[in-house]
Amino acid sequence: MKILMLNYEFPPIGGGAGQAHLAILRQFIGQNDLQVDVLTSRPKPGFSVEKLSNNIAIHRVGVHKKNLHFWRKIEVVEWLAKARQPYRLLIKESRYDLVHAFFGLPTGWLCYKTANRLPYIISLRGSDVPGGHARLQLEYKLLGGLLKRIWMKSTALVANSVGLKERALRFYPSANIEIILNGVDLNKFQPASDKEKTSELKLLTVGRLSVTKRFEMLIEAVDMLRRKGKTLRLTIVGGGGLFGPLKRLIRQKGLSDVIDLTGRIEDEKMPDIYRQHDLFVTATMQEGMSNAMLEAMASGLAIVTTRCEGVDELVTDNGVVVEDPSAEALAEAINKPAEDRQLLKAMCVSARRRAERFGWDTVARQYLELYGRVCERK
């Protein structure tokens, strides 16, 4: 098979979707019966091609990127305009069996325009499915009709969680959507073998600093617990436009000695960061399926999260799902394992055990099976 993959964000640009894409590609390395070209972005103008392996090539279209982990609308439009010609050249020069696009928009627009010549699959990731994303409400209204047409012409739609599929069906009830869950690198992310035991509960949250993550709510919950005399620390890992405002909020509340706002940390350092903590906590508004939550689970961290897509598959006896998105409810959920260290230990053991169901090898195999079905239909 010969596959063309599209993704407007790919490491070092972007967040979870780019990391997931790279993880799937790594599973494809060395498969001689599979050739993959990836068309994606780079942070500076220009065009480049690099080899991930003998059977995988990455074609990068450059844009004027201001922040590696936050897309301005003008950058998205720039990439879409610049990627159109290389996309058409790749199709003209190669006999692809299908196109696999990550995100319905903006990426899906390219393969929608060539649907009469080449079948395409869309992997829905979260932000490209209309819902409660505070920053994208106008885009959902303006582009909703186009998004439905892109979905309708696709050969297959794939959601990475049951919750994301349900959200997609609320937007487009007649869509036929398959589910291929997110994965995690179980060798890279592992529990600490000799974690230091202290009375201080070490909380961690990881994610792009955006309004959908509701960091203010999380900071307020930590403040409530501190004022009640609880001994805890919170580390917030991530970059984005809210870094300055969150830093000021932490300082205003007198939490600078309790909350560490690190900014983005290099990917290779993250396994150690996870292992240094006890509990992963998030107040996120919506997800597809959280990469960071899976990484935390694989690292043996218990989970406290507000209700969002993906938690039904991820959180059972390994954590707490907060149904009422409020600082009070979040603080109460954090306090349970803080007060009962045996409960926390049991949750941590269960977290790793549950994460072992989500290896990237399973995800890659399911995509290969889907490619095969699409090629048979073709």
Banded model confidence at residue 240, pLDDT cuts 50, 70, 90: confident
State mean pLDDT over 264-274: 92
Work out the angle at residue 147's Cα, subtended by the Cα atoms of residues 146 and 150, and round it to the nearest 5 degrees: 90
Please give the angle made by the CA atoms of 167, 322 and 317, to the nearest 5 degrees: 100
Terminal Cα-to-Cα distance of the chain (whole angstroms): 12
Q: How confident is the model over 76-135, as pLDDT tens digits?
A: 999 999 999 999 999 998 899 999 999 998 999 999 999 999 999 999 987 888 876 656
CATH for 201-355 is 3.40.50.2000
Number of continuous H segments (helices) and E segments (strands) in the chain: 13, 14
Cβ-based burial of 336 (10 A; exposed 0-12, middle 13-18, buried ≥19): middle
Q: Is the pLDDT of residue 9 over 70?
A: yes
- Spans of all domains in the chain: 2-183+359-377, 201-355
What is 2-183+359-377's CATH topology?
Rossmann fold (3.40.50)
State pTM to two decimals.
Answer: 0.84
Averaged pLDDT of the chain:
91
Per-residue pLDDT at 126: 78
The total of other beta-carbon atoms located within 10 Å of residue 270's CB is 18
Say what the pLDDT of residue 68 is.
83
Instruction: Please choose, from the candidates 302, 306, 304, the residue with its C-alpha nearest in 3D space to the C-alpha of residue 351.
Output: 302
The predicted structure's pLDDT at residue 333:
95
Q: What is the pLDDT of residues 342-360, one digit of tens each?
A: 999 999 999 999 999 999 9
pLDDT at 194: 72
In this prediction, residue 135 carries a pLDDT of: 60
pLDDT at position 90: 96
Please determine, for residue 185, whether its predicted confidence score (pLDDT) is greater than 60.
Answer: yes
* 2-183+359-377 and 201-355 agree in CATH topology: yes
Q: What is the mean pLDDT of residues 43-68?
A: 94
